Amino acid sequence: GNSVTQMEGPVTLSEEAFLTINCTYTATGYPSLFWYVQYPGEGLQLLLKATKADDKGSNKGFEATYRKETTSFHLEKGSVQVSDSAVYFCALSNSNNQGGKLIFGQGTELSVKP
């Protein structure tokens, strides 16, 4: 079946540090991959997405590359800010699975200290 595994948190970094949050997936066919972000007290927002192998999604300084050979979609940012503190969810959606249902990883909490 389809599943997503992401690194456990919490992750604590100092401002301007480099961020990597690992995400690997299991899926048949060619899923679309997403990173969603949840700021405290809010719903989830799409951060970036990639729909085919080797695509790179990017937004707000965050990047992730769809690697089919390693079934990975790791999130990176070169220099984090305090305002990036949030929970990050990796997710996939597959056309062979309930018409586009999002399957989420367990979430990784990021805390950035000044």
Partner 1 sequence: EAQVTQNPRYLITVTGKKLTVTCSQNMNHEYMSWYRQDPGLGLRQIYYSMNVEVTDKGDVPEGYKVSRKEKRNFPLILESPSPNQTSLYFCASSFRAVPAYEQYFGPGTRLTVT
Chain residues that interact with partner 1, rule: CB under 8 A: 4, 31-32, 36, 41-46, 49, 51, 89, 93-95, 98-102, 104-107
Q: Strand locations in 29-77, DSSP E?
A: 32-38, 44-50, 56-59, 62-65, 75-77
The residue among 55 and 76 lying less far from partner 1, judged by its C-beta, is 55
**Minimum CB–partner distance for residue 51 and partner 1 (Å):** 5
**Minimum CB–partner distance for residue 17 and partner 1 (Å):** 25
The residue among 8 and 15 lying less far from partner 1, judged by its C-beta, is 8
Residues 6+ apart with CB under 8 A from 42: none
The residue among 42 and 69 lying less far from partner 1, judged by its C-beta, is 42
Please list the residues that pair with 32 across neighbouring strands: 93
**Minimum CB–partner distance for residue 82 and partner 1 (Å):** 22
The residue among 5 and 72 lying less far from partner 1, judged by its C-beta, is 5
**Minimum CB–partner distance for residue 15 and partner 1 (Å):** 27
At 64, give phi and psi (nearest 5°): -155, 140
User: CB of 107 within 8 A of CB of 38?
Assistant: yes
Residue 93 carries which DSSP code?
Answer: E
